[in-house]
Amino acid sequence: QVQLVESGGGSVQAGGSLRLSCATSRYASSRYCMGWFRQAPGKEREGVAHIDTDGSATYAGSVKGRFTISKDDANNTLYLQMNSLKPEDTAMYYCAGTNYYCYSPPLISEYKYWGQGTQVTVSS
């Protein structure tokens, strides 16, 4: 059974940094596409960052230049380095993965596997 487990969330002040991790098991993270999503209370889940099968990354405009997505294929782990955090980054953060190769960001509905989420809270 595929498992994705996020960690690294917490509470920080504006301008601070956090590094989220998504440990995967029984999942071909080196081959498939993965992404980070977030959902704030009362809002829809939105894509934050995505990494393709070939390692190409794309970012939401609101986080571009501040967040970096990466993968450690040897350890089957996905990361999200978040710098210069803002109060509007406060949300539950989820990692997700597809079950196919892709070379452009899939629709959110096309992600098959999801983690349970990790909370990020940024205070002003």
pLDDT, mean over the chain: 95
pLDDT band at 117 (very low <50, low <70, confident <90, very high): very high
pLDDT band at 89 (very low <50, low <70, confident <90, very high): very high
**DSSP per-residue string spanning 53-81:** TTS-EEE-TTTTTTEEEEEEGGGTEEEEE
Most confident by average pLDDT, 50-59, 76-85, 102-111 = 76-85
* pLDDT above 70 as % of the chain: 100
pLDDT, position 48: 97
Could you tell me the two tokens for 59? Answer: 């970012």
pLDDT, position 28: 80
Q: Which residues pair with 122 in a beta bridge?
A: 12
Residue of 117, 119, 86, 101 whose CA lies nearest to 51: 101
Residues 103-111: contacts with CB under 8 Å, at least 24 apart: 103/52, 103/53, 103/54, 103/56, 104/52, 104/58, 105/33, 105/35, 105/47, 105/50, 105/52, 105/58, 106/33, 106/35, 106/50, 108/37, 108/45, 108/47, 111/35
pLDDT band at 82 (very low <50, low <70, confident <90, very high): very high
Residue of 18, 9, 16, 4 whose CA lies nearest to 78: 4
pLDDT, position 103: 86
In tens, the pLDDT along 11-54 reads 999 999 999 999 998 888 778 999 999 999 999 999 999 999 88
Residue of 66, 65, 72 whose CA lies nearest to 51: 72
